[in-house]
Each structure stands twice: as structure tokens, then as C-alpha cells.
Amino acid sequence: MTRSRGSDAGLLGAWLAACAAGEILGGATAGALGFGFSRMPVPSAEWLDTLLGLVAVLLASVAPPATLAAAQGWVLRRRLPGLSPAAFAAAAAVAVAALFVLSTLLTVTEAGASPPPDPSAPPAAPEGASPPPLDVLLPMLLSAAVLPAVTGAAIAASQARWVLRPRVRRAWPWIAATALAWAVARPLAALGLAFVPPSIPPTGAILVQLGAGAVVGLAIGAITWPAVRRLNPRAEDA
């Protein structure tokens, strides 16, 4: 099926807007979930408090990528008729939840095997300290890009397996592009937020978070756009 440049341009605009809106809404949803859980009374049982904390972190971790995926799926329907945004979001949510469970199990295992903290160790840097120098910052950013890349690849692989593969001839470009987009966009957002002064008023902090979400969404949309153009429907769906 052939598409004109005009239709591709219109789809690109919708794609960028959906990615930015999905990131902003996902961040707001995670913030609302965190606020709601923080207002809940603390359970008397320690195990229940721990369980509720894990559930809160799980939901806050799943909400942003699922919201972004729903927004992306809404636009992808124009290229892949019949694609369900809900299924696209569910595939992302399942991947993030699986990674969360795996990382939690690894953290618990490492905590049980690690020695007690050294009381003679120097204290950690206080909050609001100046950003690290460039020779320290660059390796930090490179290491910070690994986990987002793995997360993005897992999300895209789940979407490819359960949603895209029945409808497109090749889904691997979507996996590669999403991994790259997450590896680039997530650390850049964290880098920008690191330079925000801790004394910023609440209104300013909200605006900064909204701006960071928009930048991340636009970056993800721009990096994944070439892969979206390569998601050609199978002959029977074209």
C-alpha cells in the first residue's frame, strides 16, 4: 500500500504529539499514584506495609510506559487498522511488571548476601549538591542508558510478539528503535532534572516535570518514527 508524503507528514505530527502527551500523562499518573499511596494510613503489620510499598512502586513503574504505549497505539491504528491501543498498552505493562519482579528478586538476593555497611565509610553527598564533573558524568550517563535500553527492548519485544507480529511483516525495527529511544531519552531527562535547584517552588517543579515529559516524549517519537514507517501491514491487512 502506497502512502503520500502528505499522509506521512500528518502521521508524523500525530505520532510526536501522542508520544509527548503519553509521557506527560504517564508521569502525572505515576505522581498521582504516589501521592495517593502516601496519604494512606500506615498498616500496623510490617509485612503489609512492605507489600503496599511494592505495589505502589510497581504501579508507578507500569503507569508511564503503559500510558505512552496506549497513546502510541492510538496513532498506530492509522497505519495498522485493527490494532488495539489497549493491547499495545497491556503488552508494555506486562513487560515492565516482569522486569520489576525480576529486579526485586535480584535486589533481595543481593541484600541478603552483601556484608553490613562500613561505619567508617564517608557519608553520602547531601541533597542539592552540585552535579558531578564531566569525566564522572559521562560514564554515569552511559551506565544509566543500559537499564532504559533493556526496558525499552523488553517492552517493544512484548508488543511485537503479542500485537505487531500478526499484523506486520517485520517487527524487529520497532524493537531496535524503542531500545535506542529509551537509552537516549531517559538519561537526558534525568540529566536535565539534575540541574534543577532544590529550592524551586512547587509550581516551578511541576512545570519542569511537564517540560521534561514533553522533551522525553518528543525524543522517543523522533527516534522511533523511522521504525513506524517500516511497520508495513501484511498483504491481507493492507
In a domain, 171, yes or no: yes
58-95 CB burial, b ≥16 within 10 A, e <16: bbbbbbbbbbbbbbbbbbbeebbeebebeebbbbbbbb
Query: Does 57 fall in a domain?
Result: yes
**pLDDT tens-digit map of 152-171:** 999 999 999 999 998 998 99
pTM of the model: 0.83
CA 147 to chain centre: 11
Instruction: Of 17-31, 62-76, 120-134, give the lowest mean pLDDT range.
Output: 120-134
In the predicted model, is pLDDT for residue 109 greater than 90?
Answer: no
Alpha carbon distance 129, 183 (integer Å): 25
Q: Classify residue 127: in a domain, yes or no.
A: no
Residue 98 to residue 100: CA distance in whole angstroms: 5
Whether residue 117 is contained in a domain is answered as no
Total domain count for the chain? 1
Position with higher pLDDT, 93 vs 45: 93
168 DSSP β-pair partners: 233
Which cell numbers in the block locate residue 52?
503496599
Let me know if residue 94 belongs to a domain: yes
Q: Tell whether 53 is covered by a domain.
A: yes
pLDDT of residue 96 exceeding 50, the answer is yes
User: Domain for residue 122, yes or no?
Assistant: no
φ, ψ for residue 197 (rounded to 5)?
Answer: -65, 140
Q: What is the pLDDT at residue 4?
A: 52
Residue 100: give the domain boundaries: 5-111+137-229
Does residue 123 lie in a domain region?
no
> Which is more confident, 83 or 143?
83
The model's pLDDT over 15-66, given as tens digits with 9 standing for 90+, comes to 999 999 999 999 999 989 888 888 888 887 888 888 888 999 999 999 999 9
Which residue type, as a one-letter code, is found at position 227?
A
Of 172, 187, 188, 182, nearest to 149 by C-alpha is 182
The answer on pLDDT for 80 being more than 80 is yes
**Which DSSP helix (H) or strand (E) runs through 33?**
helix 5-38
The answer to whether residue 200 scores a pLDDT higher than 80 is yes
What's residue 224's pLDDT? 98
Helices 202-229 and 46-76, packing angle to 10 deg: 50
What is the spatial distance between Cα 210 and Cα 212, in angstroms, rounded to a whole number?
5
Q: In 3-state terms, what secondary structure has residue 168?
A: strand
**Mean pLDDT, all residues of the chain:** 84
Give me the percent of the chain exceeding a pLDDT of 90. 50
112 vs 175, more confident: 175
